[in-house]
Structures are given as C-alpha cells and as structure tokens.
Amino acid sequence: MTPPEPRLDEAAVRLGVVVDAPQHSGLLGVLDYLSAVPLPPGTLVRVPLGRRVVTGVVWAVLPPSGDAPVLATESLKAVIEVLDGLPVLPPTWRQLVGFAAAYYQRGLGEMALMVLPPELRQLDAVQLQRRLKRLDKALATPAAVPTADAPAGVPADVLPAPAAATLPELSPQQALALRALAAGGARPFLLWGSTGSGKTEVYLRQAQAALDAGRQVLMMVPEINLTPQLEARVAERFAGRRIVSLHSGLTPAQRLRNWVMALQGNADLVLGTRLSVFTPLPRLGLIVVDEEHDPSYKQQDGARYSARDLAVYRAHLEKVPVMLGSATPSLESWHNALPVAEGGSGRYLRLDMPERIGGGDMPRVRLLDQNHVLKATMGQEPPPLSRPLLDAIAQRVERGEQSLVLLNRRGYAPVLHCSDCGWKSGCPHCSAWRVFHKADRTLRCHHCGFSERVPRACPDCGNQDIQPVGRGTERLEEQLAAALPGARVGRIDADVTKHKGALEAQLASVHAGEVDVLVGTQMVAKGHDFRRITLVAAVNPDAALFASDFRAAERQFALLLQAAGRAGRDADVAGHSEMWVQTWHATHPLYQALQRYDFAAFATRQLQERQMAGLPPYASLAMLRAEGKTQEAAQGFLEAAATAVQDLVAQAPEAAGLMLYPAVPTPVQRVANVERAQLMIECGQRAVLQRFLSEAQAMWLAQAQQHRRSGLIRWAVDVDPLAI
C-alpha cells in the first residue's frame, strides 16, 4: 500500500530527484518533487512514481542550474520520506555517475540507482535504521579483517585481527616503481610487469602509504574467483584495518553492509569487481586496477560501462593516483603509455617490471607443430595431446611436480553428431550448438541454459550411434587419466565450481599437491600462485588467430602469457619450467612473439594493423544493438534508426569521419528465441561521436516506439564495444 504523502505548506522546496526508470520511458533526467524542508544533493529519499514508491537520489535543489534537464509536472508530488540514517552521497560520486550516464548513453536515474546496493533500493527509513543500528553495534568491536572461518552471525569484518605481517624485501625494480609512484604527478600509472614480478607487492606498499595518510583505498580485480586469495593477502598485510569486499558473490545483506561501511568511512580498503568503481568513499586516496586488460571490467548488458576507464576518470575527478597493472596491457592502455614521439598519446606513465622476483626465468615456450604430428600418425586424427607432450607431463608426475593443461572450452564435447543423417545437437532456442556434458548425460546450451537428457538415438533417423565431436575440458580430463595411468588428474572450470566453496576446495587441493595434472579453462590461467607447476600446455589455441573479432588476437596473447606465468613460480623449479603450445600455425606472429615473451613487438604489430584499419585506439566505436521477435524486426529498427539520423551524420565535420555501417545479425544471432542485430558507428573523434549519440537518442527513442508493433523488443547503445 502506498503511504500517504506528507502535507506541505506554501514554503515547500522543489527538488530534482533521479529515479530508476526504463530507457524507453523517456524519464532519463531529473524529476520534480516537493519537500517540506531543503535536502542537500546526494540525499536518498523515497518518492512516488506512478503507483509505486521508489528510492531516489536528490540531484538538485530547484530551480536547477542550466546543466541539468528537469521534467516538470503540472501537479508535483511530495517526497514521502528521507533515508536520513546515511551520509549524503558525495558530490564526486554524483559527478562520476553523471559522467558515466552521459558517456555510455544511459538514463541518469538508471545509472545512479543501478550502482546502489539492491537491498538499499528496497528499504524504507525504518528498515534502514534497524540495519544501521546492527552495523553500529558490530563496529563497536575492535577493527578486524575478513576471514573464512567467521562464527555464524558475526560479520567477518569485525573479527579480531591477526598479527602484522613481516614485509618482504623489495627488488630493485619494485623499489624503482615505488619511487616513481611517490613522485606523484597527474598522469595515471601503467604498471607493466611480467607474471611473478611482484606487482601485488607494489600495490600493497602504495596502499599502505595511502592508509598511513588517513585515506581509503579502492583495489579492483576482474573476477570473483580472484578475490578470495587477494583478500587473504591484503588481510594479512593490513592487520587491524577494516577491509570489505564488494562483488556479486555476496549476499544482499553483506553487500549493503560493506557498501555502508565504505560510505561512512569505516572501511579502510575496498576490494571489489567492476561495480566497486562506483563505491562512495569520502576520503579516497588510491585506486588500483589489477589485470587492467581483462574484458570482465566491461559490463555486457544494461549500462555497458568500462570500470577500468571509469576508474581513470574517477582518479582524475578526485585528484588521486590510479595504478593500472598487467603483464599484457590492453592495447588502448599501451597506446596511452607510449610517448607521442613513438606514436602514442603519452597520457599514462609506464612503469616497467620485466623480471621475476628472485631472478627466476619465465618458462621456455615450445611450439609443437601439429602438422608434423599428423604426418607421424599417417594422416589419422592426432591424439588430444601429442606423444612428446604426454611424455613431458609424465616426467613431471614422476618428479612430484604438477602440470596445467589449458583448454578454454568446458563440457565433454561442443556437439553431438549423427554420421548417418548429419543431425547435430542444436539448441531449439538459439543459433548455437548444445554442449554435451557426460557427467550428468545432458545436452546444455551455454547461451540460454536450455538442458535436456542425451537422446538414446538420433532424433531424426533413429541411429543409436551418435558421437561427440570436438573436445571440452571434461573429455580432456578423461583422456588424460587414461593416457597417464596413476596420475591424479583434476579439473577446474565453471561446471565443477558452480557450488559455493567448490572453487576454494579445488584450489586448496592443487596447492596441497593432491593433483598431478590440472585441466582447466581460463579461470585458472591468471592470478593464481601455483608453486608446484612446472609445465603448462595450451591444447587448442588456434581458433582466436582467425576470428572476426578484432580483439581476439590481443585476448589470446594475454591468455597464453598469463597461463605461462603459472609455471616456474618457485625459484627451485623455474630453471626447467616449460610452456607447450600445440598449434597448426607454429609460424604465426602471435606465437613467435609469445616464444620470446615480446609483448612490445606484439603490441606494435597489432597497433599498426589497427591504425591501418581505423580501429581503436585510432577511432572511436559505438554499437547500436536491437533485439526483436524476428530478425526482420531487429534489422528494420536499425535501418530506420540509421535513416532518421542522416542529417546528423551530414552535419558532422568531414575530418571526423563519422560513419554508420549497415545493420547485420550478431555473431550468435538468436538467443532464447530472441533475434539480435547490430549497427556499428565509427568516428575518428570521440567528442564528435559523443555529440552525435546524444543528439540521436531522442530520434531513436521515437523510432523504437513506432517499431514496437512490428516486433522490436529492446534496443541499446554500446559505447566502446569489446567486440564488433
């Protein structure tokens, strides 16, 4: 039931409030409400919206300044209640949200409410006060750190802290990087360090300096599965400090509690994934973005923002240092760190750490040409791992060392196939194959989740001899166990780690030496410190070499180099550690650069190709995406949208090169019975593209309203898309 609106007198104050409204509603700006008392911008309130009562954020006291559009109504409604138990959201938080909404072409209210904890958006003032009282009581306990064995009902953040850790001795290159960081400067820092070079120690030392100065630290990681081990290391280093995590693996209550602690200034260090870039921190002193190249920092639905890019903007906004770290930086960051004289933008300061801690060498990269193996097997299909590679793994098993076999494809086989009639295990709801999972005898679509039991015979012709085609991690694990009798073969992928605590248990097993050969996807190729692994093998890495996605080679090089970095991390075994790459294209420049660990040469070649093709970072892209009941409906909207903005295109400066490409289906054009299409927009000048997108929004909104009847479901703009 909607609460009664408060009574107001003639002295009521008009407020501009942002609320979460769908993009097609047209409520993309600030809405007018009345309040009995003035409320500062950044105050959380509950307001009526249609028949609902929703949470909103006070954005301005009206009449507004000229830079904030206001949708006035003839009879304004009143603010129902104020969530006054929380501090006001800082002005820099509102500036960050406003910039993100404008740059990524989303509604201001949608962006502002999306980045708040989901549970906060559901609480009224009384419920919030109860939560805050419980938090205040917990905070009365001495400051502490997160631990895995927190007693039931006790927040991990308030357990007694362990004794302070002894600091390791710095290497010369770590000391040099820290001196450069201490010198400061307005430019972002790109910490380019090989795997095992000690980048994390640099993060921790710089974080210590910020904490000692009474500031807060935001440390970002790309994926949840990297958070626990870094969290443990951070907790060990900063004993007595309050450290909170923010990621989607938390319960709604945990996420709200940790966010409130950050806003109140009670959290000293926030460790989180991409959404944590919006965490309000009243005394922010440092931002760290670990593995800055990782595509997980880009949101792929809704407001498609890049957390890495927003971290750089936020650091500029709040005048604090930002550190981007990677062994394989994104080409955009690499270009920004190149001096202007070398063809870069010179916006970032690059700090190089090429050597591993302890002087250990990176694993020797061995390219195993499958063409030679094919000749040796008399033209028959080669085994999953060639004989030389199997022998090398067997030698590791005999010595008590571990091996990692990387195959970035989960399941038993990508498809089941009938050799009699040609039937394949397609998904009835998507333009994709259903993957065969042998463990539970299912065919499962990895796009829409549709799952069925494996048929006893071919559904089309009745042939009972249907066979798996191709290989996933499940099948590779089985084949390795058969080829290496006595070896303990384990597997880590999304299938075996889907239950809570499963990933931690699997990793603990590897660290304890209970696994001889670990089969895994990309989730084990980065960030993990496996001390006993001396051999890494990439089984089927060639698919990315000829993909239509212009970033495929960049991502594949990063994945392989990160995987190589899992081997030889212990100085005692570094001398004979190896990375084996089974490939049909051993002379490809990507593998040649990998063999030399020459990221600079690889990046130079890729940037040259990008420049010739007019691709980022030498141009700015946006993708207009549409989903419809039919492909004709999706493409029809895109074609009409392109026609509607032809005058805007013509008005753009000729030097900017603004261009709209024809509408085409997406690479996977049907998902969950929804057809998808896209239209690429290219421009040589980012500012021109932004102005065009801003002006085009109203026209596209009108077109979308007209196309609803013809089957258009939704549409969105993706600025700086990862794939085209």
**pLDDT tens-place string over residues 622-652:** 999 999 999 999 999 999 999 999 999 999 9
What CA–CA distance (Å, rounded) separates 353 from 176?
9
Residue 121 belongs to some domain of the structure? no
Residues 143 and 291 grouped into a single domain = yes
With a CB cutoff of 8 Å and minimum separation 6, the contacts of 69 are 29, 30
Share of the chain above pLDDT 70, in %: 90
Domains of the chain: total: 5
pLDDT value of residue 382: 64
Structure token digits, residue 52: 């609902």
- Assess whether pLDDT exceeds 80 at residue 62: no
∠ at Cα 114 (109, 119), nearest 5°? 120
Domain boundaries, position 562 = 360-410+472-610
What CA–CA distance (Å, rounded) separates 523 from 493?
7
Q: pTM of the entire structure?
A: 0.91
Residue 3 belongs to some domain of the structure? no
Residue 385 belongs to some domain of the structure? yes
Residue 122 belongs to some domain of the structure? no
pLDDT value of residue 249: 84
> Looking at residue 698, which CATH number applies to its domain?
3.30.70.360
381 vs 296, more confident: 296
Strands 578-583 and 533-538, how do they pair? Answer: parallel
- Assess whether pLDDT exceeds 50 at residue 67: no
What CA–CA distance (Å, rounded) separates 259 from 164?
26
With a CB cutoff of 8 Å and minimum separation 6, the contacts of 547 are 553
Residues 338 and 371 grouped into a single domain = no
Question: Which contacts (CB < 8 Å, 24+ apart) does range 547-556 have?
Answer: 548/667, 549/723, 549/724, 550/610, 550/613, 550/615, 550/724, 551/722, 551/723, 553/590, 553/606, 554/293, 554/330, 554/331, 554/606, 555/295, 556/590
Q: What are phi and psi of 460, to 5 degrees?
A: -95, -40
DSSP designation for 119:
T
Residues 378 and 496 grouped into a single domain = yes
Residue 232 belongs to some domain of the structure? yes
Residue at a domain's end among 87, 115, 143? 115
Q: Locate tokens 């989607």: which residue?
A: 248
Q: What is the mean pLDDT of residues 272-282?
A: 96
Helix, strand or coil, per DSSP, at residue 280: coil
**pLDDT tens-place string over residues 413-464:** 999 999 999 999 999 999 999 999 999 999 999 999 999 999 999 999 999 9
Residues 395 and 539 grouped into a single domain = yes
Residue at a domain's end among 588, 610, 632? 610
> Looking at residue 216, which CATH number applies to its domain?
3.40.50.300
Q: 68 exposed, middle or buried (CB, 10 Å; 0-12, 13-18, 19+)?
A: middle
Q: What is the mean pLDDT of residues 30-57?
A: 93
pLDDT bracket for residue 85 (50, 70, 90): confident
Residue 518 belongs to some domain of the structure? yes
Q: Taking Cα atoms as reference points, which of 118, 162, 143 lies closest to residue 254?
A: 118
pLDDT value of residue 540: 85
Q: What is the mean pLDDT of residues 166-194?
A: 93
Q: What is the mean pLDDT of residues 461-475?
A: 93
Transcribe 301-367 into DSSP letters.
Answer: SSS--BHHHHHHHHHHHHT--EEEEESS--HHHHHHHS-GGGTS---SEEEEE-S-GGGPPPPEEEE
Q: In what order do the strands lie in the sheet with 364-369?
A: 364-369, 578-583, 533-538, 402-406, 517-520, 489-492
pLDDT value of residue 523: 87
Q: Taking Cα atoms as reference points, which of 684, 676, 717 lies closest to residue 616?
A: 684
**pLDDT tens-place string over residues 660-701:** 999 999 999 999 999 999 999 999 999 999 999 999 999 999
Residues 297 and 384 grouped into a single domain = no
What CA–CA distance (Å, rounded) separates 369 from 673?
41
How many secondary structure helices (H) and strands (E) does the chain include?
Answer: 19, 29
Residues 180 and 194 grouped into a single domain = yes
